[in-house]
Amino acid sequence: MQHAIRAITLDLDDTLWPFAPIGERIETALHAWFEAHSPLTAARFPIEEMRALRLQVHAEHPEHAHDLGLLRRLTIQRALRDSGGDIALADAAHACFFRERNRVDFYDDALEGLARLARLRPLAGLTNGNADLAAVGIDAHFAFNLSACQHGVPKPDPGIFHAACARLGLAPHEVLHVGDHPHIDVAGAAAAGLRTCWIDRGDHAWPDDLPPADMHVHTLTALADWLDAPPEDPAA
């Protein structure tokens, strides 16, 4: 199958790096920023309260579920307003968020595997998150990055997978989608007609109600090994 794969779409969060430490750093850094620049906001919204406010804003704006950056900005604006802070500080606070959002700790295999995959096939990022590949420092490996924010609908909707295939100029069955989430990545891509690879980072058990992915690996280097293998001799 590997030699029928002409390109790869690649999830980012929890595929190239774990997101949980990033989320914790964002909360800590934003709170410290508010302590320095808007003490009223820091006092009114300590980390737990800010987290609850963010969930409330998400619930109030389901129409923006695909745009996590906008929801974060709306949360910051609400926190400033409700605490009596200066709403004009929202841009600077969001810049603090953006810096921390894109300060990632890669899985041990990710950078080597990513470089090898990029030499073997065209790569496209396909994410529901809001990581910026240039800010992270890996944009040179990718033909493009398509986010749910840009497309308007998140995975597992088939439209975002089809849009990525269209930008690659390939039919869905010629594209392998690689991601960590069984439903959002694997089942979503399979329903859209793509080949699928589950990269098992240990965060999810495979659901009993889903058929298996075409590929199951634990590292990107293992996927690169598979793609780089010589074709099997059908006569052997």
64: Cβ–Cβ under 8 A, 6 or more apart, which residues?
A: 70, 71, 74
What 8-state DSSP symbol labels residue 212? P
Contact between 143 and 27 (Cβ < 8 Å) = no
What 8-state DSSP symbol labels residue 3? G
Catalytic residues: 11
What are 89's two structure tokens? 């500080």
In angstroms, what CA-CA distances link 24 with 14, 81, 101? Answer: 14, 24, 10
Alpha-carbon distance 234 to 236, whole Å? 6
Q: Residues in the chain, how many?
A: 236
Residue with tokens 């109600």: 209
89: number of CA atoms within 13 Å, CB side? Answer: 22
**Cα angle, residue 46 at apex, residues 40 and 48 outer, rounded to 5°:** 150
Q: Phi/psi class of residue 217: alpha, beta or left (left: φ > 0; alpha: ψ in -120 to 50)? A: beta
Question: Residue 85 belongs to what H/E stretch?
Answer: none
